[in-house]
């Protein structure tokens, strides 16, 4: 099976996680696009969606799925999103699509985070994928220097990318993230960091992993 076929498989499988009659949280990326397409088949059985990016919003609306503002809900039962990496404890690196801030906000509203990913995303230790960090533009160089000093990581500004919130993305290479909760807590304190791409506090509750043998369910 190709990677695209595995993404389609988990996108379809995620429908079983959607609670009928509820608002569903929707992430961003190519795997989520497969989920959005599948979700259109049950659009009459959900109240609507909360979306983590302009791109996902456009896709949802084009398929006739109402998109609500996050401020309209107190909580949602399920948030469904992909990941750039996920470890065996459900910690993730996210933000390859530059939508990490809104993704973390929706994950915070959700009772459960359902990660959908193809098998290439499962890793023993996070850090091979460059860690995305959304920063206020004037802090980019300072945050990059601090990554080098504190973690030995090399941060570069992602060229040509401005987030939906008007900020920059740093991609940090050369990290070995052995303690994801500690690193997330530390980097969150740095002035100018809007959101860092480790999702440890808001880790996955479950991962639907697309493998050549079918969808495996990992619970954390």
11-50 mask for ligand 5RP (x: CB under 6 A)?
----------------xxxxx-------------------
Distance from C-alpha of 86 to C-alpha of 100, rounded to nearest angstrom = 15
Check if the beta carbon of residue 125 is closer than 8 Å to that of residue 87.
yes
Least separation in angstroms between residue 208's CB and ligand 5RP is 12
Active site residue 103: yes
Least separation in angstroms between residue 44's CB and ligand 5RP is 26
Interacting stretch for ligand 5RP, rule CB under 6 A, among 98-106, 137-145, 160-168, 205-213? 98-106
Least separation in angstroms between residue 29's CB and ligand 5RP is 3
3-state secondary structure of 218: strand
What tokens appear for 106 in the block? 């929706």
What tokens appear for 4 in the block? 């695209």
Least separation in angstroms between residue 196's CB and ligand 5RP is 12
**At a CB cut-off of 8 Å and minimum separation 6, what does 42 contact?**
15, 18, 20
Count the residues of the shown chain that bind ligand 5RP, applying the rule CB under 6 A: 17
**At a CB cut-off of 8 Å and minimum separation 6, what does 106 contact?**
25, 26, 27, 50, 52, 70, 76, 79, 81
CB atoms within 10 A of CB 51: 28
81 pairs with which residues across the strands? Answer: 115
Check if the beta carbon of residue 195 is closer than 8 Å to that of residue 101.
yes
Q: Which of 103, 154, 184, 186 is catalytic?
A: 103
Least separation in angstroms between residue 132's CB and ligand 5RP is 7
Binding of residue 101 to ligand 5RP (CB under 6 A): no
Between 99 and 123, CB nearer to ligand 5RP:
99
Interacting stretch for ligand 5RP, rule CB under 6 A, among 55-63, 94-102, 163-171, 205-213? 94-102
Binding of residue 100 to ligand 5RP (CB under 6 A): yes
Interacting stretch for ligand 5RP, rule CB under 6 A, among 11-19, 99-107, 163-171, 208-216? 99-107
* Nearest of 160, 159, 143, 152 to residue 197 by alpha carbon: 143
Just list the catalytic residues: 103
Residues that bind ligand 5RP (CB under 6 A): 27-31, 81-84, 94-100, 103
């Amino acid at each position: 099976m190709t990677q695209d076929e595995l993404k389609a498989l988990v996108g379809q499988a995620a429908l079983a996680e959607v609670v009928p009659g509820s608002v569903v949280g929707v992430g961003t990326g190519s795997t989520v696009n497969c989920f959005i397409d599948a979700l259109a088949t049950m659009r009459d059985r959900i109240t609507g969606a909360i979306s983590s990016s302009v791109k996902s919003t456009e896709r949802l609306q084009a398929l006739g799925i109402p998109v609500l503002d996050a401020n309209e809900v107190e909580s949602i039962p399920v948030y469904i999103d992909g990941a750039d990496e996920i470890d065996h404890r459900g910690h993730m690196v996210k933000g390859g699509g530059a939508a990490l801030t809104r993704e973390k906000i929706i994950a915070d509203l959700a009772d459960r985070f359902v990660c959908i990913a193809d098998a290439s995303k499962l890793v023993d230790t996070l850090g091979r994928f460059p860690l995305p960090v959304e920063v206020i533009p004037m802090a980019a160089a300072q945050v990059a220097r601090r990554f080098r000093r504190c973690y030995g990581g090399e941060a570069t500004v992602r060229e040509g990318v401005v987030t939906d919130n008007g900020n920059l993305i740093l991609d940090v290479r050369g990290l070995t993230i052995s303690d994801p909760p500690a690193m997330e807590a530390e980097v969150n304190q740095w002035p100018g960091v809007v959101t860092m791409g480790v999702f440890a506090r808001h880790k996955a509750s479950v991962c639907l992993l697309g493998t050549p043998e079918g969808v495996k369910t990992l619970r954390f």
